[in-house]
Chain A
Amino acid sequence: MRLRLVGGRAAKTGVAWCALGRLAGAQVAGIAVDPHMVVLTATRPSGEITVLNPHATRAEFSVDLRFGFATTDSAGKLTVQLSDGPDSASAAGWIVPYPSRFTLRAGAQRTVRLLAQPPSPLVDGEYWARITVHARDDAPAPFADTTDRTAARVRIAMETATVLPVFFRKGVVSTGVAIGAVTATAASNAVEVRATLTRNGNAAFIGVAHLVLRDSTGSTIASTDRQLAVYRSMQPRWTIIVPQGIPLGGCTVLVRLSTDRHDVPRNLLLQTRSVETVVTVSAEGAP
C-alpha cells in the first residue's frame, strides 16, 4: 500500500474550517484563527497561527500581543485579565507577529508567524501573552437607497476579534495545582461548588475539573467536567445540575483536577499528577 502524507497541520486546519459552514446566513464579518494556543520554546522560538476571512468581501486584519492570562472574577466566572503593565511573566514585549497587518479577500487565509526574542538572561519558566486578531470590513456595503431624502437610514457595522494564548517555555518547566478551601452548596436543582486553586511549579496548569456528586451511600447522582487553566490562583464557581426531586442531605462532591485535556495536543500539555478532595454539600444559606 502506498500512502501519501500531506501536511498534517494543513489537513487539520481544512477539516476544522469546514465547521464554519454550519453557521447559516450571509456572512457580513467574521474571523477564525487556528490553532487555539501556541507554545514556543527556547529551542523552537518560532510558531504560527492561521487566520481565515469567512467574510463575504475583503477584510483588514491586525495582530497584536498583550500580557494576559485566564483567571476568575469575584463571582467565580472564568475571564481573561489583560494588562499593559510590567509583569515578570509577560512575554508580550518580546514575541513579534509577522505580518501584523494585512488584508484578505473573501474566504482567504494567511499564516501569521510568531518569533520570540526573549531577553537574556531569562529565568527558567513559562512566560505568557495573549494574541488578539482583529478583523474589520475593508469596504462596508453602501446603503441600498442613497436617494431617499425623506428619512434617516441607520446601521451598525460589526468588527470582530479573537484572543488566544501564547506560551514561551524556557529550561525546566513544571506545573501542578493545589486545592484550597472548597464549598458545595445546595441550590434549586443544582449544587454550586466554589474552590480556591493555586498553581504550583513555574508553568500554568492546563487541565480539567471532574466534579462528581454522590449520595450518602456513595452512589453517583450527577457528574460534570469543566476545563480550566490555573495561571496563579483563582476561585472558580461550578454548577452541578441535579435531577429534580433528589434530596441532597448527606451528599458529597468529589473535586478532581487532572491534565486530562483532549483539546490540547499531548506534546504541548504539561503533565502532572491529579489532585482531589471531597466536600460535604451544605444547605443553601447554611454557614
Chain B
Amino acid sequence: MKYLLQRIAFYLFTAWAAITLNFFIPRMVPGDPVQALITKYQGQLSTQAIDSLYVLFGLDKDKGLWQEYLDYWGQLFHGDLGLSFTFFPTPVSEIISSSLPWTLLLVGITTIISFFLGTGLGVLAGWRRGSWADGLLPVTTFLSSVPYFWLGIIAIYLLTGPGSFFPSSGGFDNGLVPAFDQYFIPSALRHSVLPALTILISSVSGWILSMRNMMVTVSSEDYITVAHAKGLTDRRVAMSYAARNALLPNVSGFALSLGFIVGGTLLVEIVFSYPGIGFQLFQALGAQDYPLMQGIFLIITISVLVANLIADVAYLLLDPRTRKEG
C-alpha cells in the first residue's frame, strides 16, 4: 500500500512537471495568438476587433508570468483549456470532447482485441514449439516491421474507391448527424473497419512475438518441470504455470500501450482522415493552433501517466514479489 502511495505521489509530481512545461513552452514561442489570428484574417480585422480579441484571450491585462501560471491552473481545474484558433471561438475542451471518443473507441477497442488475440496466439506458439505454430513467426516478424500508416495507404489504394464497401476517409458518411441511431452506427462501423484492421494487423504481431518468447523462456524453468512431474494436465501447466508467469511483461506492455491509445496512432488517423484526436492534433499543428495543441498534449500526457499507474497496479496484483510487506 505504501508502495502504491509512493507511485501515486511520483505520478502527481510528473503530471505537475508536464503541465508546467505545457504552460511555458507555448509562451516561449514568439508572437501571440492575436497576432496569429490577424495573420489568418490577412489584416481584415478592425482595431476594435483586435482589442476585443485581446480581452477574449485574456491578454489585455498586463499580468506577470506567475499570475498567468496560477490562472492557468485555476482554469484547468474548471476544465477550461482556452479557445481554439482554427475553430474560433469554440473552446478547446469542446473540440477535444468531440474527437476523443472516436479515438478511444477505434484505437481502444483495437488495442484490447490486439492484446488478447496476440497474447493468446503467443501462448499457443510458445507452448507448441516445433509444431505448425512456428510457421506464425516469420509472418509476424514481417508484419511487425511494417509501419501501420503504410499499411493504411496500401489498404486505401487497394480496397477503396467508387463502389467499394469501404470508405477511404472520415468517421461516418457526410450528411449524417452523430447519434445512436440505425443510420449513424452502421456507417461509423463501416468507416472504422479499415483503420481498425490496419492497426490490428501491425500491432498484433508484437504481442505474439513477445508472449511467445516469454513462454519459451518460462517453459525451461524448474517449476514447469515440477508441474509436469506432479502429473498436472498439459493445459493446467500451460495456463497456470507457464502462461501465468510469462504474462507479466506483456501486461505491463499492455498498460503502457493503453497510454498510447490517445496519441500513438496519429498517422493512421491522418491517413484515413479519421475524426479522432490525432487528426485534430495534425490540423492544429498545420494551423498553429496553440491552445488546441496544448490541450491535446495535456490529454496525451495524462493518459500516459494514468496508463503507467495502471501498469504498476496490474503488476502489484499479478506478481506477489513486487508487493512489499507492511
- Judge: A and B partners, yes or no: no
Residues of B at the A interface (CB closer than 8 Å) are none
Residues of A at the B interface (CB closer than 8 Å) are none
